A and B are shown apart, each in its own frame.
Chain A
Amino acid sequence: MAKASYRSQENKVSYLFLAPFLIIFLVFLAYPIVYSFFLSFQEAGTGYSLNSLEWVGLKNYFYLFTDIEFLWAVLMTFYYALLIMPLGILSSLVLAILLNNKISFKNFFRSAYFLPNVLDMLVIGIIWTLIYSKDGIVDKCIKLVFDFFTYDFLGNITNNFFVSIFTMFTQGVFYGLILFFIYKIYSNFPMSKYVKNEKLSHILDILVYGVAFVLIFGGGGLLGGASKILGSAVNNGVLGTPATCMPAVVFALVVKGAGFGMILFLAAIQNISESVYEAADIDGCNEVQKFFYITLPLVKPIIFFMAVTGIIGALNAFTEIYAMTKGGPIVTVLGKSLGATKLTGYYLFTKWEQSEFGYAAAMSYALLVLTIVISKVQEKILSPED
């Protein structure tokens, strides 16, 4: 009897302590998930206000899977995640390895790299918008490169002799090096290896070499494409060019977040016992081997963690897009104009803006399922076996 009253007393006290947290948790975190489920079967009727919600059954979900904009947003989110995960992991790992040496000012570098993590994403995004904007510092640098490669050296040879000659020769070195590398790579795989007929193998050689040449130097080739992109970036700014906007946004985020992963990697690397490396030294491993056979396997859990958070971060990405591109620039795919950086998070927000609450709720549920599926798949692929 006494025990029962003690337990009920304990329950009462516990729930009194829990009450403030629990009430807010239930109202604003648990209930929304349930409410969102009901909301996803409704639609804002006349006036798009919250008071005019009507039941529409599965309409939102049917619409979701035929909505090209949504599918495009999912695709772009994967593109974004595939850019940011490897770059983020690589940059953090490089910083951690650099910082893992015995150096002075270690704490200064550690703080400097970590500092951007605590700063407001929106404000950082706006600062990067300035850096990337037309006539901004990045744009100026691209313009220098672009001007260099499009310099009319024959036309200017009389009035600007030295500049023309200098440009001509440096460009000559650049193109010459590319040619040289094609030749070097190709000379390892001559067609005579695979084709017995000598004449035919020569013809094939010419063909392959020519195709490689066209792919790089031709009007629609790599260099031509690059110059087109650079030209567009000069005219519209980096964030206004479809091909460069996503890498630019990703770069800004990688720079902001690198310090976080660095601390994780640093802790993991410092946990590796010195004796393991010494044993490797005695066995005659070089630094590269030590990295691939000792360090990398032991930091694998961190890589897994960063991959998971990377994909969740991509599905949550909103503020950086709002600050830098607002979903733009517009690209035309299959006759539809779509935003090149309109990720799912931002698309959800635009649906909120248009008061399509039911559709946004349905989208949230689809994204939740997607998140769960992806993290399960990642777990299968990447999880450390222990």
Chain B
Amino acid sequence: MSNKNEKIKNQEAAPPDANLSSAVAVIENNAPVMDPKLHAARYNRIITRAILYFLLSVGALVVLFPLIWMILTAMKQPGTAFKFSFLPDSLSYEGFSKLYTLDNFKKVFAEFNFMKYFFNSIIVASLAAVFATTFACMAGYVFAKKNFIYKDLLFYLLVATMMIPGMMYLVPQFVITVKLGWFDTYQGLIIPHLANIFGVFMMRQFMRSIPDSLIEAAKLDGASEWQIFTIIIVPMAMPIIVTLFLLTFLFHWSNFIWQLVITKPGSAILTIPVGLAYFSGPHGSEWELMMAASCFSIIPMAVLFLIAQNFFIEGMTKGAVKE
């Protein structure tokens, strides 16, 4: 008991907040001398904050360093990738143009096929994202709201398949796709990866929270199953649909290994990463061109991320912990 009292006393005796005391000091203008202990505490706080911001900035610099380095190198004059002078002699146009140029971007587009690769990537990623999201949405709805034969069995099958590491599919998926005659075609690039199990779970999770009464009411009004899905379910699930769309777009934008194995070198349907991988063979030492080409993969995704970052962050991390 006495111990507890002591503690409470100590708490009361503890120095009040530094800010408050400084405010008091300002009000009592005749007492400019601060308690040296408080002064030290405040000083320490400033130092801690400075260290905190310093560490955060160093972290940001390290994390963003590859991007900064890519953009800087992409703008350098040919053959100067390993010359580390970034500041021009004079702040004039000549000073800058001695070091920097935009020709690399032009060259990558005009002389090499990166325009085509870029559009291929966009076509593949958006088509795949549209279809995968639609399919996952339909399947998720059924798993959330319907009872059907073999539902549990199917569900466990999905869960079990999700555990299998992706590399395991490389060979059999390749063989099956080739046997279907889809080698080096858009179908081959897109269709084998349209079944997004993770997306189905995401959809199911969300759609379970949509009240059944809404569906019942629509049924009483004579809505068909398809109308219920398109008029009630889809609009209500829009946030999660957008999230899944972005995630699948991202997945197919960087689905390098599949795009590498299912296309021929020099094919007309290469995507950016594969195009860059083949480009790095003969032009591996022309780093300015390589980095200029890299920008066309990195910058669109970075911009997309900045526009829709909450969708990305929530979608990528929420699903991770829920499992």
Contact = CB atoms under 8 A, between A and B. Distances in A.
B164 interface: yes
A24 B131 CA distance: 11
B193 A360 contact: no
Given A35-B175, A98-B59, A113-B63, A126 B139 contact: no
Interface in B175-200: 175-179, 191-195, 197, 200
Nearest to B323: A305
Given A255-B63, A361-B172, A122 B139 contact: no
Nearest to A110: B313
Contacts of B82: 135-136
Given A10-B146, A137-B84, A315-B167, A115 B139 contact: no
Given A17-B139, A28-B193, A119-B67, 16 more contacts: A17-B141, A17-B142, A21-B138, A35-B176, A109-B60, A123-B276, A127-B70, A127-B294, A140-B84, A312-B165, A345-B167, A360-B171, A361-B172, A364-B167, A368-B168, A372-B163
Interface centre among B84, B168, B309 (most CB of A within 10 A): B168
| B contact face: mostly helix, strand, loop, or mixed | helix
A258 B65 CA distance: 14
Nearest to A315: B165
Contact of A364 (B151, B158, B170): B170
Given A348-B170, A368-B165, A255 B62 contact: yes
Interface centre among A32, A113, A323 (most CB of B within 10 A): A32
Interface string A66-108: 0000000000000000000000000000010011010100000
A20 B176 CA distance: 18
A21 B52 contact: no
A36 B193 contact: no
Contacts of B85: none
A130 B165 contact: no
Interface string A124-153: 101110110101110010000000000000
A260 B317 contact: yes
Contact of A352 (B134, B138, B174, B193): B174
A185 interface: no
A333 B60 CA distance: 40
A30 B305 CA distance: 33
A124 B68 CA distance: 12
Interface in B46-72: 49, 52-53, 55-56, 59-60, 62-67, 69-70
B172 A33 contact: yes
Contacts of A360: 170-171
B66 A124 contact: yes
B229 interface: yes
Interface stretch (B26-34, B35-43, B250-258): B250-258
A130 B261 contact: no
A236 interface: no
Interface in B278-323: 280, 287, 290-291, 294, 297-298, 301-302, 304-306, 309, 312-313, 316-317, 320-321, 323
Interface in A355-386: 357, 360-361, 364-365, 367-368, 371-372, 375
A24 B194 contact: yes
A302 B73 contact: no
Contacts of B81: 130
A28 B207 CA distance: 26
Contacts of B179: 50
A322 B277 contact: yes
B168 A36 contact: yes
B220 to A, nearest CB: 15
B182 to A, nearest CB: 11
A144 to B, nearest CB: 12
A112 interface: yes
Contact of A112 (B64, B149, B313): B64
A173 interface: no
Contacts of B170: 348-349, 352, 360, 364
7 contacts: A14-B148, A29-B195, A119-B298, A120-B254, A130-B69, A309-B320, A368-B164
A234 B86 CA distance: 23
A348 B174 CA distance: 13
Given A116-B66, A123-B297, A264-B317, A103 B174 contact: no
Contacts of A368: 164-165, 168
Interface residues of A, number: 89
Given A109-B60, A282-B7, A371 B138 contact: no
Contacts of B165: 312, 315-316, 367-368, 371
B225 interface: yes
A259 B136 CA distance: 27
A354 B57 CA distance: 47
Interface centre among B139, B163, B301, B312 (most CB of A within 10 A): B139
A153 to B, nearest CB: 26
Nearest to A139: B82
B171 A36 contact: yes
Contacts of A33: 161, 164, 168, 172
Given A25-B195, A39-B172, A103 B53 contact: yes
Contact of A122 (B84, B138, B276, B304): B276
Nearest to A135: B82
Interface in A251-266: 252, 255, 258-260, 263-264
B47 to A, nearest CB: 14
A121 interface: yes
A31 to B, nearest CB: 7
B135 interface: yes
Contacts of B178: 50
Given A18-B139, A259-B63, A29 B73 contact: no
A28 B309 contact: no
Contacts of A130: 69-70, 73, 81, 287, 290-291
B147 interface: yes
A302 B320 CA distance: 10
Contacts of B309: 111, 114
B119 interface: no
A27 B171 contact: no
Contacts of B166: 316
Interface in B1-28: 7, 11
B197 to A, nearest CB: 7
